[in-house]
Structure 1
Amino acid sequence: MKPTVQVLDTGMAAINAVRDLNQRGYSQDDIYVLAHDDDHTDSLADATNANTIGMSEEGVFTSMANLFRSRGDELRAKLESIGLSEQEADQYEQELDKGKVLVIAKIH
């Protein structure tokens, strides 16, 4: 199943969204945060105890390839690795370019 994605304006909104997902029964293992900047993503993950999209989701090849990609290409590859289509990944990457934050929940 496709993950659900929330596009949020601020880190605080992301914190609240993760908290809401927890209250609705989502496991921390199924919740991801993503911002355009790696440092922002990492600080959000720390603040929410959510995950970042990393090697376990991307696989070794994609993770290694991301070292040589532009940031936009890297973000799109990360989004596709968790089950979004190429078109959806492009759409959400554009939101990240605008400074938005994504909270992604995998559905089992």
Structure 2
Amino acid sequence: MISATKPFVKFHRYDQELVSDIQALNSSGYHKDDIWVLRWNPDKNHSNQRDNYYKYSSHSEDVIGDIDSKAHVFENGGEELRTRLEKLGLSKDEASALFRELQESDYSCLLVVRDLKDNIIKMSN
């Protein structure tokens, strides 16, 4: 179910701080369906590699801190990542802008939270 409000998006590295943010969200009552970790894998951007394995890949083998049981982990190429952002409630332009910013930064993933309330996690790094 998509919310009428825009989801909260935070740039992250795939590290212990991400695990801490997810644990804080879980402790505050957020469930796995409200929390998404979107990892960009540039190796999955090439159209010749977009077979079903890549298209339907949900997470990598090196999930840290068992976050795949606490949040949805999605690792894929650029087009799939932008599409997932749109499905989570962002416009096509917003999704493209976030993906471009992710590509140009030293971050490796986005933490997306539906209906974030209060200051459960630090807003920026």
TM bracket (short chain): 0.5 to 0.7
Alignment gaps of 5+ in structure 1: 54-65
Question: What are the equivalent positions in structure 2 for 1:86-101 lying under 5 Å apart?
Answer: 86-97=92-103, 98=105, 99-101=107-109
Q: Which entry has the higher C-alpha Rg, 1 or 2?
A: 2
* 1:26–1:6 distance in 2 versus 1, CA, 3 Å: same
Gaps of 5+ in 2: 45-56, 117-125
Aligned to 1:26: 30
Shift of 1:5: 1.1
Partner residue, 2:121:
none
Distance in 1 of aligned mates of 2:12 and 2:73: 16
Instruction: Give structure 1 regions of 4+ aligned residues with deviation exceeding 4 angstroms.
Output: 38-41
Aligned counterparts of 1:74 and 1:40: Cα–Cα separation in 2: 11
Identity %: 30
Question: Residue 115 of structure 2 aligns with which residue?
Answer: 107
Q: Which has the higher helix share?
A: 1
TM-score (norm: length of structure 1)? 0.67
Deviations 1:39-86 (A, max 9, x none): 894344872121135xxxxxxxxxxxx9xxxx2222111111110111
Normalising by the residue count of structure 2, what TM-score does the alignment of the two structures yield? 0.59
- Aligned 1:1-108 pairs, distance under 5 A: 1-37=5-41, 41-42=59-60, 43-44=62-63, 47-48=66-67, 49=69, 50-52=71-73, 71-97=77-103, 98=105, 99-107=107-115
